Amino acid sequence: MTVTDHRETLRSAYRQVRSTTTRLCEPLSAEDYVVQSMPDASPAKWHLAHTTWFFETFLLQPECPGYKPYHPAFAVLFNSYYQGVGPQFSRPRRGLLSRPTVEEVLNYRREVDRAMDELFTDLPSDHFAEIAPRIELGINHEEQHQELLCTDLLHMFAQNPLDPEYQSSARWTPAKEHPFAWSPEFDAGLWEIGAQGSHFFFDNEGPRHKVYTEAFQLGNRLVTAGEYLNFINDGGYTTPSLWLSEGWAAVNTNGWSAPLYWNKSADGEWTMMTLMGRVPVDKHRPVCHVSHFEADAYARWAGARLPLESEWERAAHFIESQIQPQKTSIVGNFLDSGLLHPTSPSNSTSPIAQLFGDTWEWTASAYLPYPGFQPAAGAIGEYNGKFMSNQMVLRGGSCATPQRHIRTTYRNFFPSSARWQFAGIRLAK
């Protein structure tokens, strides 16, 4: 690709990610942008502003000498956690900010987009080549916040007894059954995992390195809500021997008796809150909004276990190279489908369906640095490395992940108790 082509490709990707973010907000009323429904979630308005702040802080300010920050206070208000850039407004207090208004934030976005467009146009090639990786990082960063926008909106609406619908419940249809089977066995052996090369990937995906993996099999699809109901009805949430000690404590402290957003009516019917409002639990769709503790307990109950991230990546590489070699991009139920909920792979003939999309898959691997991992220099180096403690790896993306964003080597991570992401269960043995 020529430098000019690269520049235009990136400009196009930039424009697309920016317009997708605002489009995702179109169904919202001004009031919906403000609420922070828990410390881990952020208001929609904050996502809109923070992603903009990223481009302003890491591109416009250092690279465009004449650039004047849109508002002096935004540097603190919309910094998430970059200590190297300065102080941050207290995270659990993001929902206390009625100002700037949505209109002002959208204006902030427009101003930064205008300045970025000038940067795309005006920057000399050498300079542009130098900063292109940072632009790509900003785009990927905003893609991540598109997913969080969805999960945070769902969490907010789920607190509301009015069961608001982000999009019409008329979109909801029951899914078809896809029978469970174990995949063919993968042989034991030394294998390389992790990213390398010139395409974009996060620092935590590398370096590429060798791992030894025992022989294993994966489930041919995600665990379904119907299977999970069997676990519930079999006393899964009341049997301590199925749980990690911390998981059992979480069950009891939080009163968990089903996935997040599930409710059982007085007459025994299960419903769940989704971005389409409250709908019946669908047995054939993947269970999601479970914690790592629940995924682990379910797997133990089912006589299986969760996959290691190295197993998952090996399987994903196999699927990519053997099953779908003709595909130029990853196939699955992503944000792009607009469904915004996992569904059944009923039409798939893959021996391991749903590896990508639908729900993130909790692995049995702690989120730790790969051998030889080095974070990037400067504040941008705070992106991934400093979170490498007490979190578990999830793989494969979800129905709220932009399709462009996911990779075979992609490592997502959340604490074992997190439930508000679209996270589900893949069995291994």
Binding region for a second copy (CB under 8 A)? 29-35, 37, 45, 73, 76-77, 81, 83-84, 89, 93, 95-102, 156-157, 159-162, 164, 190, 209-212, 214, 240-241, 243-248, 292-293, 296, 308, 364-366, 368-369, 371-372, 382, 386-390, 416
Strands 360-366 and 423-424: parallel
State in angstroms the smallest separation of the CB of 89 from a second copy.
7
Q: Which is nearer to a second copy, 98 or 125 (CB)?
A: 98
Structural contact between residues 425 and 363, judged by C-beta atoms closer than 8 angstroms = no
Q: Phi, psi (5° rounding) for residue 125?
A: -60, -45
State in angstroms the smallest separation of the CB of 162 from a second copy.
5
Buried b (16+ CB within 10 A) or exposed e, 407-417: bbbbbbbbebb
State in angstroms the smallest separation of the CB of 155 from a second copy.
9
By C-alpha distance, which of 57, 49, 56, 101 is closest to 77? 49
State in angstroms the smallest separation of the CB of 153 from a second copy.
9
Structural contact between residues 367 and 308, judged by C-beta atoms closer than 8 angstroms = no
User: Residues for the chain: how many in total?
Assistant: 429
Q: Which is nearer to a second copy, 118 or 214 (CB)?
A: 214
Structural contact between residues 363 and 213, judged by C-beta atoms closer than 8 angstroms = no
By C-alpha distance, which of 119, 137, 130 is closest to 64? 119
Q: Give the Å distances, CA to CA, from 202 to 11, 231, 383, 409.
A: 20, 36, 9, 9
Q: Which is nearer to a second copy, 94 or 404 (CB)?
A: 94
Q: Which is nearer to a second copy, 44 or 287 (CB)?
A: 44
Tokens 């008329």 sit at which residue? 170
Spatial separation of the C-alpha atoms in residues 169 and 163, rounded to whole Å: 11
State in angstroms the smallest separation of the CB of 94 from a second copy.
11
Q: Which is nearer to a second copy, 26 or 31 (CB)?
A: 31
Q: Which is nearer to a second copy, 194 or 342 (CB)?
A: 194
Q: Which is nearer to a second copy, 144 or 337 (CB)?
A: 144
State in angstroms the smallest separation of the CB of 205 from a second copy.
17
**Computed from CA positions of residues 333, 338, 342, 346, in that sequence, does the dihedral angle turn out positive or negative?**
negative
Q: How many CB atoms lie within 10 A of CB 209?
A: 15
Q: Which is nearer to a second copy, 128 or 312 (CB)?
A: 312
What are 38's two structure tokens? 């828990």
State in angstroms the smallest separation of the CB of 141 from a second copy.
17
State in angstroms the smallest separation of the CB of 139 from a second copy.
24
